[in-house]
Amino acid sequence: MASILSIIITFGILLAFGLVAFCTVKWWNLRAIGVTPVPLFTFIAILFTSGLDVGLIMFPLGEFPTYADPENAAVYGFTNPLAIEFGFWGFLIWGFYFLTSFYFCVVEPRVKFFEIPAVKILNNIVIIGTCAFTASLFLVYLPFYIPEIGDGESIVATFYVIVFCVILAAAYSSTDIKFVRILSVGSTFLFLGLILFMFLYSGMGIGGLATNLGELTSGYFGNLHKFVLPINDYHEFYLFWWFAWSIMIGQFTSRFVGGLRTQTLLLALLVIPSIPLAIWFSVLYFYHTSGIDTTGLLNFAMILVGVTFVINSLDSLIRLYSDNLSLTPSRLGKWLYVALNVAVLFGLTLAFQSQWLQIQWIGAVVVGIYLACLVFILLKKRGEVAAIKASPEENTLDFDRIEAVH
């Protein structure tokens, strides 16, 4: 018998993809414009580095052996480990981010569901909790990537100091939106540089990369339907994780959407982030299958990029919930603002690390918010939503003025 969590995530996925299809069909050619539109590359960079975290860097090398283990053949045996990894991170599930980005860019200004006090409080609890979960993952995986510190398995005091400093850096970065933008673009280039460095170091060559990409493409897209619903409890964990991120990432990144048509926005979010993900996993898979050791310089490079991803994810979300709650640097003062955020996030990080909190619970709450928002629209705002023909007028006018200048 399916567990309560399995039922919740299955319902959430079907609801989300149903809404993706509805929005795409109804507003096929609508031009989506955020309050501070940016060029497509900058938008994708902000989305990519805010919407992904350190797990992208730290998980795959530890997960490939599990997906290839004969004991798991009944679960993962329908495809190869590389396709499984990509399926947990790429393409289809970026539809969640399309849905929430489009909603907050086009629909929420008319609906104002997230301005309801109880919803606002609950949403910001979700954001803060997910921030802490991101930091806790970083803490848990540090021993694996820096075995030179401690025994390579246990979390020692040095790792707590590293995580504390990362949270501190993120809180400070969030004090100015320009830091968030610069860090997003910089993190993207760092990640691309890491891919190139590890590709060249591996010696796999273009032929080896092409072979792995072919294995990924056939293994994933040939079994796309099998990645829609949870394969097992671990896939379920991933899907709850994506749900936990989805509303807050859409809320943050929607402000940067720069005039893309609805169908173009969907295609861009499904395809563009998936390209570097596919290449990254293909390179790492070569390390796994070839038994190439990553200790030393390679691990240091991955940790460096992982740190920037954590800082980038956290500063975006800190900025979001502090704006939502009016706990801004201008109101509190920069240093009180930084100290308050560090204290809250580091405390919750320790709670996640001790398993007192779980991301599945947060993801389940987000599914509930999706459903509540839909019911609210159907009961209270159906006419306003049905009448939507364009992005909010103020966004469109500002965008047209910027376009005219350029």
Q: Give all domains of the chain, ordered by start, each with its CATH number.
A: 4-405 (1.20.1740)
Res 1: pLDDT:
42
Q: Which tops the pLDDT comparison, 404 or 32?
A: 32
d(CA 268, CA 250): 15
∠ at Cα 345 (340, 349), nearest 5°? 155
pLDDT at 321 over 60: yes
What is residue 319's three-state secondary structure? helix
Rounded mean pLDDT, 316-339: 87
Segment 242-252, tens digit of pLDDT: 999 899 888 88
Residue whose C-alpha is closest to residue 250's, from 390, 107, 392? 107
pLDDT at 55 over 80: no
DSSP secondary structure, 104-173, as one string:
IIIIHHHH-GGGSHHHHHHHHHHHHHHHHHHHHHHHHHHHHH-TTSTTSSS--HHHHHHHHHHHHHHHHH
Rounded mean pLDDT, 384-402: 77
pLDDT at 119 over 80: yes
Contact 337, 327 (CB under 8 A): yes
pLDDT at 405 over 80: no
Statement: the pTM of the whole predicted model exceeds 0.75: yes
Rounded mean pLDDT, 257-264: 91
Res 401: pLDDT:
56
Question: In residues, how long is the chain?
Answer: 406
Res 372: pLDDT:
97
Res 138: pLDDT:
82
d(CA 142, CA 306): 10
Token pair listed for 110 = 């008319």
From 20-34, 158-172, 272-286, 302-316, the region with the lowest mean pLDDT:
302-316
Segment 137-157, tens digit of pLDDT: 888 878 877 777 777 677 888
Token pair listed for 66 = 């599990």
Rg (CA), the chain: 21
Segment 200-233, tens digit of pLDDT: 999 999 999 999 999 999 999 999 999 999 999 9
**Residue 331 phi/psi, 5° resolution?**
-85, -45
Res 400: pLDDT:
57
Residue whose C-alpha is closest to residue 376's, from 22, 113, 122? 113
Query: How many CA atoms are closer than 13 Å to the CA of 89, on its beta-carbon side?
Result: 28
pLDDT at 377 over 70: yes
Res 402: pLDDT:
52
Q: Which tops the pLDDT comparison, 74 or 214?
A: 214
Question: What average pLDDT does the chain have?
Answer: 88
Residue whose C-alpha is closest to residue 276's, from 120, 89, 145? 89
Query: How many CA atoms are closer than 13 Å to the CA of 369, on its beta-carbon side?
Result: 27
**Residue 246 phi/psi, 5° resolution?**
-60, -45
d(CA 260, CA 40): 8
